[in-house]
Structure 1
Amino acid sequence: MEPFNNIHALIIDMDGVLWQGNQALPGLTDFFQTLYELEIRFILATNNASLTPQQYTVKLARMGVTVAPKDILTSGMATALYLAEHTDPGDTRVFVLGEDGARQPLRDRGFTLTGLYEVNNSGSNTSHKGADIVVCGKDETLSWDKLATATLNIRAGAKFIGTNADVTLPTEHGVTHGNGAILAALQAATGVAPIIIGKPEPIMYQQALALLGVAPAQTIAIGDRLETDILGAIRAGIRSLMVLTGISTQEDLETSDFQPTWVMADIRALTHALRSQHLSMEPY
Structure 2
Amino acid sequence: MAILSNIRALIIDMDGVLWHGNNPLPGLVDFFQTLRQLNIRFILATNNASLTQQQYVSKLADMGVSVSPEEIMTSGIATALYLAEHEDPAKTRIFVIGEDGAKQPLLEKGFTLTDLYQLNTENTPGQGADIVVCGKDQTLTWDKLATASLNIRAGAKFIGTNADTTLPTEHGITHGNGAILAALQTATGVSPTIIGKPEPIMYQQAMSLLAVPPNLTVAIGDRLETDILGAVRTGIRSLMVLTGVSTEADLQHSDYQPTWVMSDIQAVTEALKAMTT
Is the TM value for this pair above 0.5?
yes
CA shift, 1:126, in A, is: 3.3
Residue 117 of structure 2 aligns to a residue whose secondary structure is coil
Superposed counterparts of 1:203-222, under 5 Å: 203-222=201-220
Q: Which runs of 5+ in 2 are unaligned?
A: none
Q: Deviations over 1:110-145 (max 9, x none)?
A: 0000000179xxxx8236311000000000000111
Query: Which aligned pairs between 1:63-74 and structure 2 lie closer than 5 A?
Result: 63-74=63-74
Contact map agreement 1:118 1:131 (CA 8 A) in 2: no
| Aligned residues between the structures | 276
Classify the secondary structure of the residue corresponding to 1:255.
coil
Contact kept? 1:118, 1:130, Cα under 8 Å: no
Please report the TM-score for the alignment, with normalisation by the length of structure 1: 0.95
Correspondence for 1:161 among 145, 159, 162: 159
Residues 160-199 of structure 1 show CA distances to partners (whole Å, capped at 9, x for unaligned) of 0000000000000000000000000000000000000000
Call closer, same or farther: CA 1:149–1:174 in 2, change over 3 Å.
same
Q: Are 1:248 and 2:246 matched, yes or no?
A: yes
Runs of 4+ in 1 over 6 A off after TM superposition: none
| 2:6 aligned with 1:6 | yes
Q: Distance in 2 between matches of 1:37 and 1:252?
A: 34
Deviation at 1:3, TM superposition (A): 4.8
Contact 1:118 1:128 in 2 (8 A): no
- Aligned residue type for 1:63: M
Match of 2:76 in 1: 76
Which residue number in structure 1 is paired with residue 95 of structure 2? 95
Distance 1:192 1:127, change over 3 A: closer
The TM-score, its normalising length taken from structure 2, stands at 0.97
Correspondence 1:90-169 to 2 at 5 A: 90-117=90-117, 125-126=123-124, 128-169=126-167
Distance 2:2 2:208 in 1: 25
Instruction: Show CA shifts across 1:20-63 (max 9, x none).
Output: 00100000000000011111100000000000000000100111
Report the Cα distance in structure 1 between the residues aligned to 2:57 and 2:143, rounded to whole angstroms.
31
Gap regions ≥5 residues in structure 1:
280-284
Cα deviation code 1:200-238 (max 9, x no counterpart): 000000000000000000000000000000000000000
8 Å contact kept, 1:118–1:129: no
For the residue of structure 2 that corresponds to 1:138, the secondary structure is coil
